Amino acid sequence: MRSMKRIVPLAFVLFGGVVMVWLMSGAQAAQVKQEAHGAPEAKVTELMSKNLPDFPGKEGAMITVEYPPGGSDPIHRHNAHAFVYVQEGSIVMQLRGGEETTLTPGQTFYEGPDDVHVVSRNASATGSAKFVVFFVKDIGAPVLVPVS
């Protein structure tokens, strides 16, 4: 009985540690690295993900992206349906074959699974910008895939 009293708290500590590592690795995997193209790095925060039983093999995922002044992303795709909602600042978006558009707080943007995002940047060199993205994607798939 005495050993069970030690094992149960240890199990909770180990389980909590595994959960923390899992959450941190997801956030790090979602972090967009932009050092290669010289722009300030965006801060990506994973808010949630949830399997969608009515859509077998799919999950919904939600992130926030914060661009510092002059921040941008490299050319990429999402292999997902991506719904963008601007919260703060202004961002410039463009899909391959489309026109560049500037979005301000309250405006939205959509990217389909086959779209290539050729411009994604903060419209300001002095203020930050923040937006929320909701994805419908394959379970476990990354939220961002670089494109050369």
Let me know if residue 76 belongs to a domain: yes
The pLDDT, as a whole number, for residue 145 is 94
Instruction: Give this prediction's pTM.
Output: 0.74
Let me know if residue 22 belongs to a domain: no
Let me know if residue 67 belongs to a domain: yes
The pLDDT, as a whole number, for residue 14 is 40
List per-residue pLDDT tens for the chain, 148 residues long: 554 454 444 344 344 443 333 333 344 333 444 444 567 889 999 999 999 999 999 999 999 999 999 999 999 999 999 999 999 999 999 999 999 999 999 999 999 999 999 999 999 999 999 999 999 999 999 999 999 8
Token pair for 21: 């590592």
Strands 91-95 vs 101-103: parallel, antiparallel or unpaired:
antiparallel
Dist. CA 1–CA 80, nearest whole Å: 51
If one counts the domains in the chain, the total is 1
Dist. CA 116–CA 72, nearest whole Å: 15
Residue 95's domain comprises 31-146
Let me know if residue 108 belongs to a domain: yes
The pLDDT, as a whole number, for residue 41 is 86
Let me know if residue 48 belongs to a domain: yes
List residues bridging with 66 in a β-sheet. Answer: 43, 130
Strand arrangement of the beta sheet that strand 145-146 belongs to: 101-103, 91-95, 117-122, 76-77, 145-146
Q: What is the CATH number of the domain that holds 127?
A: 2.60.120.10
Residue 130 and residue 124 in contact, taking contact as beta carbons nearer than 8 Å = no
Grouping H, G, I as helix, E, B as strand and the rest as coil, residue 134 is strand
Let me know if residue 87 belongs to a domain: yes
Residue 115 CA: distances (Å) to CA of 30, 74, 146: 19, 14, 12
